[in-house]
Amino acid sequence: MDKFDLIVIGTGAGVNVASQARHEGLQVALVDQGPTGGTCLNNGCIPSKMLIYPADVIRTIQDARAVGVHAGINEIDFQTIMGRMHAVVDKARINLEESLKSSENLTYFQEKAEFIDDYVLKVGEMAITAPKIVTATGARALVPLIPGLLETGFLDNVSLLRLQSLPQSLIIIGAGYIGCEFGHFFSALGTHVTIVGRGPLVLKGEDPEAARLVQKVLSRYMEVITGHEVVSVERRGDKKVVSARNMANGKIQQYEADEILLVAGRRPNTDLLHPEKSGIETDSKGWIMVNEFLESSKKDIWALGDAIGKHMFRHTANYESEVVSHNLLRSIDKDDREAVDYHAVPYAVFTYPQVAGVGMKEADALAAGRKVLIGRAKYTDVAKGVAMAEEHGLVKVILEEESGRILGATVVGPMAPELVQQVVYLMNTEYQDLMPVIKSQVIHPTINEVLVRAFSELEHPYHHHNEGQ
């Protein structure tokens, strides 16, 4: 059996921990059955944003009519769009792989890892062990038990990237982040898209006011069917047919298309890892359970990223990898350990319109019994928003009434992630309050002013509770 100081499973954010440990002189085993770089690089954030940017450009050109610019699109070259994406992803993956293979103090196993005993993993044909282990095993597409789905065949976020030609019509099962992003991509390129979601609105868990705005705009470009559960899938000639039950009245509706994209959630990869064989506890769905120091139920085995099923974003996994690195390498005594702080976790959905947020939603704050103030501003409340003819843009901020502490923000509209990022910085200042905004001059006219406007128009939640229903 090969012995190491540390074993890291997963080459997404796990690489951060492995490389820091190796620099400190630890002998590290890094294990991943591939592809190197994990979800974000290979079939997540990077390839999807490479595809979505051209879709943004298409919609921008089309929407320019609102400001008196009438432009046409001559040709959309699907092969070039896909080719650029593959070139970027492949190069990054190859570079990462080469650097891992030539790293001192690091042995890279491109094999499946599974626990066979306490602190012991089977990797390919051999067994390896270490007193400290980090599991950053990620997640994969959840395939619900829908009759006929496997026989009919479908795309997921991985196989979609290998498409050679653009489908003329597409049914997307799932109206979450990935469904709304790819719905935007395919519809902008000319595919007839139907999105089928179970929730009453797209983007489950999003602020309802924001989700309604997104749904309203998306519905211009595609068929958005919410409140429907897919009950079966079949082939009919060369078409694929999805039957969905209206959850309100039980009626079955059928939709047909050339292709189906399944994005109905994510599931952990722990079933491949068998963490229970090393005494690592998982919850009922298989996500690894961790304490605030990201340590699992087994001493000196940590978990991070999608494997713990909390905030499934690459930037959060990177942050968690820093916490794990500190606790693994630095904290000799219990008092020196670093706990995770999730008070200002940001996210963005690159659909059309973009939506982004950080921290609490209004509903979360009210459910927690907090006394809050809500600030709202539309893009058209400021000069730049009017210039852009941006009638759907909205900024919503939530503050704790007593302390003035910023609890969260949600933005819908162009540059939503950039605006939310400013709130993330504010939420990480010493007092987490408005002072930096109040003291600052804001360049006029810019879209930044809409954020300032939201912060300056604070009121109690019930004043606008019935607006925008």
Q: Which residues of 193-210 are buried (b: 16+ CB within 10 A; e: fewer)?
A: bbbbbbbebbbbebbebb
CA distance 203 to 180: 8
- Tens of pLDDT, residue by residue over 304-319, are 999 999 999 999 999 9
CA distance 123 to 121: 6
> CB under 8 Å to 376, separation ≥6 — which residues?
394, 395, 396, 397, 454, 457, 464
> CB under 8 Å to 106, separation ≥6 — which residues?
18, 19, 22, 28, 29, 30, 100
Range 104-109 average pLDDT: 97
Q: What are the residues facing 122 on neighbouring strands? A: 114, 127
- Tens of pLDDT, residue by residue over 326-359, are 999 986 666 789 999 999 999 999 999 999 999 9
Q: Which of 399, 410, 460 is nearest to 434 (CA)?
A: 399
Long-range CB pairs of 123-127, under 8 A, 24+ apart, other chains included: 123/29, 123/31, 126/1, 126/2, 127/1, 127/2
Structure token digits, residue 296 = 């699992």
Strand (E) or helix (H) holding 93: helix 78-101
Sheet of 2-3, strands arranged across: 2-3, 126-129, 120-123, 113-117
Q: Which of 396, 445, 394 is nearest to 423 (CA)?
A: 396
CA distance 261 to 258: 10
Report phi then psi at 284, rounded to 5. -60, -25
Sheet of 228-236, strands arranged across: 228-236, 239-246, 252-257
Range 156-174 average pLDDT: 97
Structure token digits, residue 422 = 């400013």
Exposure of 59 by Cβ count < 10 A (0-12 exposed, 13-18 middle, 19+ buried)? middle
Query: Identity (one letter) of the amino acid at 119?
Result: Y
Q: Which of 260, 257, 302, 254 is nearest to 278 (CA)?
A: 302
DSSP secondary structure letters along 184-248: HHHHHHT-EEEEE-SSSSSSTTS-HHHHHHHHHHHHHHSEEE-SEEEEEEEEETTEEEEEEEETT
- Tens of pLDDT, residue by residue over 372-425, are 999 999 999 999 999 999 999 999 999 999 999 999 999 999 999 999 999 999
- How many other C-beta atoms are found inside a 10 Å radius of the C-beta of residue 154? 21
Q: How many separate helices (H) and strands (E) can be counted in the chain?
A: 14, 24
Q: Which residues of 361-372 are buried (b: 16+ CB within 10 A; e: fewer)?
A: bbebbbeeeeeb
Strand 406-412 to 394-400 pairing? antiparallel
User: Do residues 108 and 120 make contact, with C-beta atoms less than 8 angstroms apart?
Assistant: no
Q: Is the pLDDT of residue 98 over 60?
A: yes
The gap from C-alpha 317 to its chain's centroid, in whole angstroms, comes to: 11
For residue 34, the model assigns a pLDDT of 87
CA distance 464 to 469: 10
Range 232-236 average pLDDT: 98
In the chain the domains, ranked by start, together with CATH numbers, are 2-140+267-336 (3.50.50.60), 149-264 (3.50.50.60), 353-464 (3.30.390.30)
Range 428-455 average pLDDT: 96
- Tens of pLDDT, residue by residue over 22-72, are 999 999 999 999 899 999 999 999 999 999 999 999 999 999 999 999 999
CA distance 380 to 139: 40
Structure token digits, residue 200 = 């009453």
Give the count of alpha carbons within 13 A of 209, CB side only.
25
- Tens of pLDDT, residue by residue over 422-436, are 999 999 999 999 999
Q: Is the pLDDT of residue 438 over 80?
A: yes
Q: Is the pLDDT of residue 468 over 90?
A: no
- How many other C-beta atoms are found inside a 10 Å radius of the C-beta of residue 408? 25
Report phi then psi at 168, rounded to 5. -75, -35
Average confidence score pLDDT of the chain: 96
DSSP summary character for residue 295? B
Q: Which of 353, 292, 302 is nearest to 325 (CA)?
A: 302
For residue 394, the model assigns a pLDDT of 98
Structure token digits, residue 304 = 């991070």
pTM (two decimals): 0.95
Q: Is the pLDDT of residue 467 over 50?
A: no
Signed CA dihedral, 256, 259, 264, 268: sign only: positive
